[in-house]
Chains A and B, each alone.
Chain A
Amino acid sequence: MHPHETWRAIRGYALVIPVLAMLLVTFVVPLLEVVRTSVTDDEMQASLPNVAAALRPWDGQSVVPAEASQALLLDLPAAAPQKLAALGRRLSYEDPKANSLLRLTAQRLKSGATNLAEIDGRWAQPGTWQMLKRAAGPYSSFYLLGAFDLRRDFGNGVKDSYETGGLYRNILLRTFVIAFLTTVCALVLAFPLCFFISQSSSVIQRGAVLIIMLPFWTSIIVRTTAWIVLLQDRGVINQLLEASGLINRPLPLLHNRFAVIVVLTHVMLPFLALPLLASMRAVDHRLTDAAASLGAGPLRAFWSAYLPQILPGLAAGAMLVFVLTLGFYVTPALVGGPADQTIGAYISLFTTGTGNWGLASALGLVLTVSTALLLALRQTLTGFAKDQGAADR
């Protein structure tokens, strides 16, 4: 390569360094940190290091090794209260009574007791030691399994944590269903709207774009609260319907799935409408005219000549709405019921509410990976469709 060209290439790359640095700091590093947090299980390592070491070689099924209880007698009185509290919290995810068991046993050991089984009968049960082994760390699949409502059962692989069925599995499924319904509703509304606008005069077009953009510039909380005023039992809609005599008791419009979909569709509409409108405006009408002159009916012309031209904008907008809705939880929290809360609400609950960062990270990771898989699937499918199109010609 000519030295001059090499220099130009270096300069070209230098221009994208800020973008790469930003990606690294705001995306790659936090994502790696989330991965690390979701597999870190080091509370026992920090508070009862000898117990953790003694439990690691144990298979979880045979007799509990004597070294483990010896190590507990040694570690528990010496553990810093702060670190013991962290371990108690970690164990309480499995058994709420584990925290008090640890704390009381530590107190009794400090005041001279030496027989664990006498202090508390639970120390004689293998289940207690299995629970400790699951927390022996420093890395484990505890939180990732927990995100799928599973836990390790020694000798039997994994089993369901909840007898009543899935918790987070259901919430994840529900999140995808809400995102899908929102995308479909936004498509149904945006398509005729954008088609009408793209066929109108430039004055109407500018006005219409402004009307789409105005709510976009308003805070989401304000828009959502406005919907509460409309939808609540003594809200505008119910009062109008009651005054007109159509109903005699208020319709349940708020705190349910209906409200979530309606409000999310409103919030998300601009993200679909703007790319769709852009691609509709760029449509080459000579192609649809040509299709018609070659004998295609209106439907055929739409399908073969119009739709392929707007498909990129349509797909981009729909994907944007779908992915944004997946991570959205403010609107469902305000207008939905408990059965309409998306996975984001639980990630937020465990991050700032209860401080269970392991589970929060695991849930976040599951959401990120499933979204990425879906995007990859779409990419493959559109690639496939393009190849098919090329083969047809």
Chain B
Amino acid sequence: MHSRLFQILAFASVAAIGATLPAAARDFTVVAGGGSFQALQKEVFFAPFAKDAGVPVVDDSWDNGIGILRAKAAMPDGGWDVIQVESEEQQIGCDEGLFVELDTSRLPPASALVPGSLSHCGVGAIIYNFVLGYDATALKTAPKDWKDFFDLQAFPGKRALRGSPKGNLEIALMADGVAPKDVYATLSTDAGVERAFAKLDSIKSSLIFWKSGAQPIQMLSSGEVTMTTSYNGRVTNAVRNDKKNFGLVWNQSLQTVDSWVIMKNSPFVDLAYRFLKDYQKPERQKLLPAGQPIGITSLAALKEIDPSVLTDLPTSPANAANVLQLDDRFWVDNTDALTARWAAWSGQ
């Protein structure tokens, strides 16, 4: 009788210890930007990857911000393995040692990828633009650049901007007549920052701010705003799928690359490398633009894209004629000070 009880207790304690072992505690976790694009990523990449590798893949989503990555990196295991980060998050996180510094021999060669896709700690996931999106029903004439975005007389109605300085200061300077190539030289001076905020001040009473990428389209749809900054894919989707009468302006749009990074404290580094490599397979990447109007990083896949689809892509020559590349180095050095400045300005 006693020995039976002992057996049960021994079994129970072994089971309890087994349940707390870290390796068994969670599955490989991929974190991306959420929304319909992540649903597509899941279909095109995550699910086939899980099948090929024979492991469960959990996909989580986040709203970006280096702070949460620092918090995750400060834990023994933050629960995230591979994350789609914005370009300056890649730079900061890499500087601070939050991510694995990539061994390029374990990745596809740089010659197979769109230039700029490979960075010290990241491999390009998507190329996309912040564009001016507008409600073509509410506006009698179509806006053609950021100058029009700041013209309250000719283009009445409220406007929405992302509630953080990145991109908005560049937009304000271009609206004030600075050529795209001179934007960062201007913004690197105190006078340039003042000029950008003064320009934003001129339409402040007509501005509202968005936080997550779904909001701009929702604000356009509800009539809350007539113009907004938005990711190009969200506007094209609203036109394509929801038959909205919206337009978008490629001229002076801001281009950026999101990268996949591996958290340094990930217990799945080998699997993560495999994920990064598999993501660049042309046969998978070519499926993306048909579902979502987004720039892809595999050169071989880009050649196979249908011309009718190409017109909605940031990588089409016509759309890429006059765009500004977001400058990571600038944002790495200025992100904290300008975020505080932005908080002060927007809260006044």
Contacts and interface: CB of A to CB of B under 8 A. Distances in A.
Contacts of A96: 333-334, 336-338
Interface string B152-187: 000000000001100000000000000000000000
A231 to B, nearest CB: 10
A114 interface: no
Given A82-B95, A85-B95, A339-B348, A356 B223 contact: no
A351 interface: yes
Contact of B333 (A92, A346, A351): A92
A92 B97 contact: no
A93 B337 contact: yes
B114 interface: no
Interface string A71-115: 000000000011001101100111111011000000000000000
A235 interface: yes
B222 A354 contact: no
Contacts of A100: 333
B223 A170 contact: no
Nearest to B62: A352
Given A233-B224, A333-B211, A354-B65, A86 B334 contact: no
B67 A354 contact: yes
Given A338-B209, A341-B347, A352 B339 contact: no
B270 interface: no
Interface in B319-338: 332-338
Contacts of B318: none
A353 B67 contact: yes
Contacts of A355: 65-67, 70-71
Given A85-B92, A85-B96, A352 B68 contact: yes
A171 interface: yes
Contacts of B95: 81-82, 85
Nearest to B335: A354
A99 B340 contact: no
Contacts of A167: 340, 343-344, 347
A269 to B, nearest CB: 26
Contacts of B65: 352-355
B336 A338 contact: no
Contacts of A341: 347
A167 B342 CA distance: 11
Interface in A202-241: 232-235
Contacts of A95: 337
A248 interface: no
Interface in A321-372: 333, 337-339, 341, 346, 349-357
A351 B70 CA distance: 10
Contact of B66 (A81, A162, A233, A354): A354
Nearest to B339: A354
Dominant secondary structure at the B interface: helix
Interface residues of B, number: 33
Interface string A280-305: 00000000000000000000000000
Interface in B84-129: 92, 95-97
Contacts of B67: 350-357
B346 interface: yes
A244 interface: no
A94 B208 CA distance: 28
A6 interface: no
Interface string B273-305: 000000000000000000000000000000000
Nearest to B340: A93
B96 A82 contact: yes
Interface string B48-75: 0000000000000000011110110000
B69 to A, nearest CB: 8
A255 interface: yes
B166 to A, nearest CB: 11
Given A92-B334, A97-B333, A352-B65, A254 B344 contact: no
Nearest to A349: B343
B223 A232 contact: yes
Given A81-B95, A93-B336, A346 B343 contact: yes
A338 B347 contact: yes
A99 B222 contact: no
Nearest to B225: A233
Most chain A CB neighbours (cut-off 10 Å) among B67, B96, B224, B336: B336
**A-B pairs with the 8 shortest C-beta distances?**
A355-B67, A338-B346, A96-B337, A234-B223, A85-B95, A82-B97, A353-B65, A167-B344
20 contacts: A85-B92, A89-B336, A92-B336, A95-B337, A96-B334, A170-B347, A170-B348, A232-B222, A232-B223, A233-B222, A235-B222, A333-B211, A337-B208, A346-B347, A349-B339, A350-B67, A353-B66, A353-B164, A354-B65, A355-B67
Given A351-B67, A351-B71, A357-B67, 16 more contacts: A82-B96, A86-B96, A93-B337, A93-B340, A94-B337, A164-B348, A232-B224, A234-B222, A338-B348, A339-B346, A339-B348, A346-B343, A352-B71, A353-B66, A353-B164, A356-B67
